Structures are given as C-alpha cells and as structure tokens.
C-alpha cells in the first residue's frame, strides 16, 4: 500500500511538473494578453467615441414658441411655495424665456439627452402645443454629433422673494443633463440658473472634473442616484 501511494504521488508530481505546469505557463499569459488587449481596445473605443456636452451660453428670447418643444424647469423657492404643480396651468409672475445652447466638444455622438431636476430627482417637464394649421416637428430623441450646437427652449419657473430684512432671495434652478454615447456609457453635468427679479438671471455649469460638481453631487446624492436609475431604466 505504501509503495502504491509512493508511486501514485510520484506520478502525480511528474504529471504536474511535466504536463500541467507547462500548459498553464502558456495558457495564463495568453489569457492575460487577450484580457489586456480587449480592455485596451474598449478604452480606445470609448475615448474615440466619447461625447462631451457643455452649456455654451443661455440666450434671452422674447417668448417661448409653444408649438416647438420646450422645458419647464422649476426653482427651489417656487417648489417650496407650490409643492403640487399643474404643468398644464402653471402660473408664474416672473417666468423667464430662454434658449439653452448646448455644444458637443467631444469626439462622439451624444444621444438620448435628457434633463432632470437635481433638487427633486424628477425629470424636467417638457411639453409642446399642437397646431392644427401647420405641419409640426414633434419632440424626438435629442442627439448631438461631434462639434454640433443645439438650442433647447426653456421657460424658467421661479419665485423671487424677500427675507425679513427686505433682501432679495434669488430662486435657484439646478438641473442634471444626462446623455449616452453609442456604446451606452452614461455621462452628465450640472446646469444651474439663479433667477433674479425683472427677468434677469445668472447661469453656470459644472462638469464632473470640478470640485463644485462633486460638492453638489454629494449634497443631492439621493436625487442623483434616483436620476441615474431612472435614466438607465428609460432607454
């Protein structure tokens, strides 16, 4: 029995040393090389097709063309005063009509561009009136090719109020613009507009590389995660 065990152990040792180890020494580097090359190709494809949207500017317009699609972002002050909003009959004494000018400065197509209220985690309401007397281009998926600029109408719903000392409190609109590339990688950036009295406003945008973006993402972590989840589910 001991001789058999000794022989068996010797044969297994020889098998491992002379057969399996040489095979593994060939297979493992091959798999590692394939894995590395595949990751490199995927990374290069993503880089070569990566869009990068920026808010180029915000333009004043005299009035919203309601027969074309437009957004209705709502400020924090207004939401506090009107928790339930009927978008079909929304009232605002200081609403501001603008065009958001987006520019794709990246290398690839940005597709399925959507806007969300980062303060609530809900998609910004968009609408378009029907005109029976003309042919209309109805809202379709918003896409932008590389180097393209596009404008999006927006009616800024806000409520500028005063504190007890008579100091004006601007209304703050905070949106998350979310989009995909052709490989379904998801990107986003923050658009902020502070509405002031007499139809004036300040605007700015934060990209994920900025500290301000990181601060607001942390501040609105719950809403941010809800937005990304909604976006992934609604392709």
State pLDDT tens for residues 95-113.
999 999 999 999 999 999 9
Cα–Cα nearest to 85, from 169, 155, 161, 142? 155
How high is the pLDDT of residue 41?
47
Query: Which residue's structure tokens are 């209309």?
Result: 136
What is the DSSP code (8-state) at residue 63?
A: S
Query: Which residue's structure tokens are 């007499």?
Result: 198
Angle of helix 221-233 versus helix 211-219 axis, rounded to 10: 90
CA–CA distance, 145 with 150 (Å, rounded to integer): 10
Given a cut of 70, the residues of the chain with pLDDT beneath it are: 1-21, 24, 29-48, 131-140, 235
- Could you report the per-residue pLDDT of 6-25, keeping only the tens digit for each? 444 556 566 555 665 677 67
Cα–Cα nearest to 187, from 125, 120, 111? 111
How high is the pLDDT of residue 125?
94
How high is the pLDDT of residue 70?
94
How high is the pLDDT of residue 180?
96
How high is the pLDDT of residue 90?
85
Helix (H, G, I), strand (E, B) or coil at 177: strand
What is the DSSP code (8-state) at residue 74?
A: B
The pair of structure tokens assigned to 133 is 């007397």
| 3-class SS string, 113-161 | EEEEECCCCEECEEECCCCCCCCCCCCCCCCECCCCEEEEEEEEECCCE
Residues 171, 56, 136, 115, CA torsion sign: negative
Cα–Cα nearest to 175, from 112, 230, 125? 125
**pTM, entire model:** 0.78
- Could you report the per-residue pLDDT of 219-235, keeping only the tens digit for each? 999 999 999 999 999 76
CA–CA distance, 7 with 13 (Å, rounded to integer): 10
How high is the pLDDT of residue 188?
98
Strands 125-127 and 201-206: unpaired
């Amino acid at each position: 029995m001991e001789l058999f065990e000794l022989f068996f152990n010797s044969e297994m040792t020889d098998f491992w040393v002379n057969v399996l180890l040489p095979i593994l020494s060939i297979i493992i580097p091959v798999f590692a090389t394939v894995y590395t090359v595949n990751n490199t190709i995927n990374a290069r494809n993503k880089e070569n097709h990566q869009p990068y949207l920026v808010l180029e500017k915000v333009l004043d317009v005299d009035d919203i063309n309601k027969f074309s699609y437009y957004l209705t972002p709502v400020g924090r002050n207004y939401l506090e005063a009107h928790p339930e909003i009927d978008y079909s009959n929304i009232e605002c004494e200081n609403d501001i009509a603008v065009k958001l000018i987006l520019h794709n400065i990246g290398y690839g197509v940005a597709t399925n561009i959507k806007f969300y209220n980062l303060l609530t985690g809900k998609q910004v309401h968009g609408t378009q009136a029907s005109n029976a007397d003309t042919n209309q281009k109805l809202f379709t998926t918003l896409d932008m090719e590389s180097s393209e600029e596009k404008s999006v109408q927006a009616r800024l719903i806000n409520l500028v109020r005063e504190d007890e000392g008579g100091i004006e409190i601007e209304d703050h609109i905070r949106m998350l613009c979310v989009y995909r590339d052709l490989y379904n990688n998801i990107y986003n950036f923050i658009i902020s507009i502070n509405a002031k009295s007499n139809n004036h406003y300040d605007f700015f945008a934060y990209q994920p590389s900025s500290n301000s973006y990181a601060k607001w993402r942390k501040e609105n972590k719950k809403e941010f995660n809800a937005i990304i989840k909604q976006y992934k589910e609604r392709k």
